[in-house]
Amino acid sequence: MFNTDGVLKSLNEVQGVHQAVIVGRDGFVINSVGDMEADSVGAVISTAIGAIEAMGRDCKQGTLFEVMAEYNGGVVIAAPIGTDAVLGIVADESANLGGVRFVVKKSMKELEKVM
């Protein structure tokens, strides 16, 4: 197990966030903190990030930093961690999107070191 516990816990403590998960590109959960079913969230995030990266390559947009999908109940953010893993964040509508995105960006450097 990689030492990602502290990073995921700090992400999960942001107001409105109720799931922080790291999944491999194969969809298997590496680590998770929160109150949702990590296996199903992780599998969907892994699949979605692969499709969105392919779209970016086809459109010659460069390297993907993050994807954010907004719903009437909140947001899902996915961000690649290097080439082998993906960070997923699920937050409700009370979350401050700027704050969540700031913490995700700040956490990526630490996650890339330990992954």
pLDDT of residue 103 exceeding 80 = yes
Question: What pLDDT score does 24 carry?
Answer: 95
Question: What pLDDT score does 76 carry?
Answer: 94
Provide the mean pLDDT of the chain.
91
pLDDT of residue 23 exceeding 50 = yes
In this structure, are residues 89 and 111 in contact, taking their beta carbons and an 8 Å threshold? no
The span from the CA of 80 to the CA of 108, in Å, is 9
CATH code: domain of residue 43: 3.30.450.30
- What's the domain range around 23? 5-114
pLDDT of residue 29 exceeding 70 = yes
- The full 3-state SS of 57-78, as one line of letters, equals HHCCCCCCCCEEEEECCEEEEE
Domain count, the chain: 1
pLDDT of residue 2 exceeding 60 = no
pLDDT of residue 36 exceeding 60 = yes
Residues 62-86, mean pLDDT to the nearest whole number: 93
pLDDT of residue 1 exceeding 60 = no
The span from the CA of 100 to the CA of 106, in Å, is 10
Residues 20-39, mean pLDDT to the nearest whole number: 92
Residues 77-85, mean pLDDT to the nearest whole number: 93
In this structure, are residues 48 and 25 in contact, taking their beta carbons and an 8 Å threshold? no
